[in-house]
Structure 1
Amino acid sequence: MNDTSTSQSQIDLLQAALDHVNQGFSVFDQDLKLLAWNRGLWEMLDFPQTLAKRGTHLEEFLRVNAERGEYGLGDIEGKIKRRLERAKLFEPHYFERVRPNGQVIAVSGTPLPQGGFVTTYSDVTESRRKQEKLERTVEERTRALRQSEDWLRLVTDNIPALIAYMAPGPVYRFANRRYAEWFGQSVTSIVGKSGAEVLGSQLFGEISDHIEHAFRGNAVSYEYQRELPDGRTVSMRSTVIPDMTVDGRTLGVFVLSLDATEQKRSEATLMQSQRMDAVGKLTGGLAHDFNNLLTILMGNLLGLSRLDGTIGAEALKSRISPMLKATQRGSDLTQRLLAFSRGRPVDPKVIPVTSVLENVETLLRGSLSSAIDLKVGAAARHIAVRIDPTQMETALINLAFNSRDAMPSGGTIEIQLEEVDLDGRSAAELGVTPGRFARVAVADNGIGMNDETRLRVFEPFFTTKTFGTGSGLGLSMVYGFARQSRGAAHVTSALGKGTEIALYLPSVTLNNSDLAALGAGNDDGAPLPHGDGELVLLVEDNADVAKVLAEQIKDLGYTVLVAESAADGLALASDLGEVRAVITDIVMPGQINGLALARQIARNRPNIAIALMTGYADWGNLQPDGQDIGFPVLTKPVRNDRLAHTLSEILRKKTGARD
């Protein structure tokens, strides 16, 4: 076989291979004449077979296409000429052409080194239809999603709640209109901003721990207060729920906030109702205590009236000492009862749990019958909690009275305090964050509860008592107090075996210096500070009270001048330069009260030391904005140690100011 035959065989083999390619193929030389092609070109583009020969010029292919409308309507010769001129440039090119029958052909040309070019033709009709279908589907779904988002926006914007979504950072990704406007933003401007930017540094600092806890995968509820531009203070209650994947990753958090101002007012009203209900139950026992105190006072006074002038100092002291103790106990009982019954705004503070238990024990001792044995274990003085003490006292007294009612024939009530460390599982069962908690348990050996009652015991208005004898709100308020304090309440009970209700409150461990600071001012038997004859102006409208107080002040080493009205007090303080200190009652007849008098004197003579005194428990209402009134306040009857320390302290401060 010669070389020519071999070359022809190789060309035939190459042509057979090209004919099996599923694309059209053509090669044109530098004169734009056809050199090679494959069968796919004619099958795909339907060219006449007369063109399928070497040397056919490109113009003939272009003319066939132009005449059958492949290039559209118009000037056929012009269309052919423009395409030939572009072809002569021999530049790489790619374009897609839609044929009149709808077929889409992708044309890709590559120039050859000596001139000419290789072109491939691909039928992309099906892939383009799929792409168009996909694009239409995407467009339809985008439109549906946009419509869905519009509906979601419409719904969330009209819900009376603040709704938002925060991504890690935390950064806002969504907020409804109410939420955005609440923080001075728009629904578009809030997106992408950080929590600190939107909430402000102060509020964000207050709630950042809750947000972080939610991003760790925990549902969180909390409350905060915010002052509006018109001066009103509103209470908000927020719930934050993590947005988590199946494998436990937190993508973000959903935030729902509701205006709880009215609800807080209602809760305060209910709490006051509970306090007054408890006061009614306490009254009988306290009356018994006061009768005993009056018996001590009356008996000793009668004894003194029968003594002659030869009575010795020891005999006189033996009569006076129990009267002073009885007077002090009566004063303590009165102040605690008044503070408990009137309540105060929720005012969380760090306080030793034992101090609350001691107050509760004082109020309960005379209120429980002799058939009830009250045991209070309050030795762990280092355990403190951040709570509102009045709320906690209310809760414990409610629990104690429930225990009393469960023991109609008598029994034992134990109030015990301990510190416990809750691990993850125990904390999850109680619905709290793991950590150290003060556990205050009130237990009795009464009739107990069945499982149905135990499971419903914290429900509002649920009660097992006879109609008219219980509101069903006591234990729900106990539960609410525990949850508000970021703690929990747990019931253990069985029929015939008694009941234990335990409060779990996040604990703060106090060291000795903390305890000393909290207990500062207590009378520990040390000598009382005395004056050096300084002139003290006493303003008191009750002559008998003024006489007793004047004697107390004189006994502490001071000279006393008494004024019977605020007007007299103001005149004496202004005219007598020798007056070094003023002690004035707060509530007095006339147009000016003691607080206004103190402020006027302080303006006129800033170097005078001033203290107030009152027999009322709610004197703080004189300063409705909750700010400090600026002067120390002594509670009547005025204890000698409190009077001595207060006078010494206010004079020391003024002396230091002058120096």
Structure 2
Amino acid sequence: MESISAKLRFLDGAGPIATLLRTHDWSGHPLGPPEDWPATLKLSVSLCLRARFPSAVYWGADFWLIFNAAWTGMAGPDASKLARPVAETRPELWSMIEPHFRRAFETGEGATFSSQPVTMLRDGVPTLTYWTYNISPIQDENGTVVGLFNQGLEVTDYVETDNALRAAKRERDFILTLVEEQRIQPSPDDVMQRTAEALGRFLEVDRVGFFEVTPEDLLIYGACWVSGRLPPLTGTTPSAVFGKIIGKTVQRGNTLVFNAPDDPAAPPPVVLGAIGTKAGLSVPLVRGGALQGALYVSHAEPRAWTRGEIALVEEVAELSWDAVARVRAVTELRALNADLARKVAARTAERDQLWEFSTDLLGIAEQDGSWIAVNPAWERALGWSNEEIVGRDSQWLRHPDDEGGSSAEIAQIAAAGTTHRLERRLRTRDGGYRIFAWQTTLVGDRLYTNARDITEERRQQAALRAADARTRIVLNAMEGIGVWTYDVARDRFDGEIGFAELYGFTPEQLETGVSLADVAARVHPDDQAILTAAVELARKTGQDGAHEYRLRLPDGSVRWVMARNHVQHDAAGGRETVVGVGVDVSRQRELEERLRQAQKMEAVGQLTGGLAHDFNNLLTGISGALELMQLRVTQGRTEDLPRYINAAQAGAVRAAALTHRLLAFSRRQPLDPRPVDVPQLIAGMEDLVRGTLGPSITLEIAAQPNSWPVLADANQLENALLNLCINARDASPAGGTVRITAHNETFDPSAAAVRDLPPGAYLVVCVADSGTGMRADVIARAFDPFFTTKPIGQGTGLGLSMIYGFVRQSGGQIQIHSTLGEGTTICLYLPRHDGAVGDRAPAQTGPTLGAARRGETVLVVDDEPSVRMLVSEVLGELGYVALEAETGAAALELLRSAERIDLLVTDVGLPGGLNGRQVADAARVARPTLPVLFITGFAENAVVGDGALEPGMALLAKPFAMEALVERIRTMLGA
């Protein structure tokens, strides 16, 4: 007879649940002891216990439950739940699963459920989870269903991640659509109205609108959208009605958030009652320390705003103010263009009349100076007829005492592309002469002349030098013009009215005496030297000298003044007086600045458009790969996962490269500058460059062995040289030579100014090719972001802009020298480093996840939860203890405690008033030798430092591969 131990062999090696089955008290149990179970039940239980997935057997019509170790997350590991009806073990689930179990038991048909929502008790708390599971009938040897076999896999994390991705994609699509709609709106009000409607419908709220703040602290409500449950906000309201606390919050630029009327952050009840709001958001616009307006969101019922909703409203607010500024600038620019077009049309209509009735001498001549045509003003001003002038040179009309300005000289200057200007006296028929401001320009093969009669101006200027103070007061009555006299010996300006108005002095101040220092005190500090130098030049040389500078008047306004000085002496030739004339050109400068601002906004639009295009392509590849991965996991098909993972990782790497290039272009990339031996660096990358250039390109390297070291990020310098070599290869389709050189140069002030550099010593690194060369217009735009001459899909247009940003951020300069058909040379000017050159860190072949030393602890500080989670997971894999902090203040509490901390890993940009660098500096006060690893995607030099980091500190740029993080952590901890 077979022994009991032999009958229980199906439980051998089946884990802890098998032990529970052996030791369970089966007396009186309907299933009986395991050794007497039917073969079908033994086989099913054996398969169940050895499965890696959560698995269970439900035996008989009462569904007696036997589960494996992986199932204990649902059923619990204690024996009290073993071999009991499932209705008793999980009553909260039975109502949901009973119909499916009964149907499978009665029909013999299995069933599969994907991502099924299941609410189960966890730690006594009802928790929503998601499961993918199947139900398979168990049949005996006669084909009768005697039980069910069930396997399940919890997919809660996958479903929640998918929901988050879908929400993020929805918000991303909303933002992209909104930006495009804002771009095409014709006016600022249209931008705000369309934004309010789109945001209100997207968030399903009851009211969205904008208000602006007047200097009197009045809120003027503007564009507004409502769902129908709340009225629109219109008119004007004093800001004080919202209370001092709220006023201080928004004045600081902080977003106002309240979820219910009794929320401490909510406005006073009387205000909420008046506007009908029970929950709301308000994102202020603060410029120059003053509140200018806000975007607000209101809801008629209490509502708990999520972090994602708050972040979305803040982003929409920022985009909206930028769009409003852009549309306003474009509108003003269009108005200026329309005004210019009207003026051009008027000038065109008057062109024929101008020739006939102009008081200026207009003429057209051959390049040898002989006249082809002159207008009637010649005869009216000089008395000479058209027939007497045409065909002759104007030299015969010139006053005999005037020198220079021959026809040949004028033609030569005009042919060189320069407008020739001079004053010339011309003889009149009656024997006198008149003075003209003469201007000649070459257009095609003709010389066009315009001569303005300035005879009376010169006579008035001569009279002005001799005029008394009363006469100049009359002349100063013209608005925006000032005439003054400065007595050099007394250091005093006389009291002309125009001078007082132009420079913001009162007549009383002029009566008591205004010195040159008094005037200079009102001139912008950057322009004070211009004023004093101009007066000194006039005093020493007696010559007129035009100059322009900025005044800051007592009322706070700023004025631009174009001024001219000359010197006159008394009868004895001793006493000096500087006479000046000034004109207010502030309006002209204001219009020029507005035009420049509009051009800047247009450039920003081109930059963001190119960036959105490239990122949309990359995000499509990443999100598509993740969706397919989720689908294949749900289907149980894992053989395709590596391909999708590789596609997503490749997209992420390209996106990281794009952001790094953008940061390099903006000179905001986090650099790790170290002393670099450039010839050694070039020699180290020679094989890589040769392989990249290919067999048709000959590589030549000529780096002086005594080249000075430079302080730079070696990896970025390698990338820059490699990019230049690739561009040189692409510019040489028929083959040729690429030459890399490095030599020392020292620039004096004049040579440095030509290269836009400070004077000093530089290492000059050049990459030259013998290719097709570059046109002048291409060179002018070569460093613009997204500008490329390559076909679509073969270049992002960020290569040279990235190199430009890196070189400028390193304190240097880059220049292009090119000739069409002969080739291009691009030179990097890098400042000399006087310190020693250290060895570069050896390349790693790949980190390994070895064990940490016992008890080693790492503090991770980052305001992004996903980053903290990933870094902590990696540290856990390495065996380190991970501590987490979201803000700099929370990190300092841990650093000041008795906790063991062997390494600080911190983001640079942190909320709460303390950035990562400040946290690191404070940590080293109490822990001087604590290693610090900065992880950042955007680091200002003022935070990380202009030079190399301190010993024991390192920098890792986001986004980074987990392998790179592992390598850096183990290196810094000496593992």
Shorter-chain TM-score above 0.5 = no
- Higher Rg of the two aligned structures: 1
> Highest relative contact order (Cα 8 Å, sep 6+), 1 or 2?
1
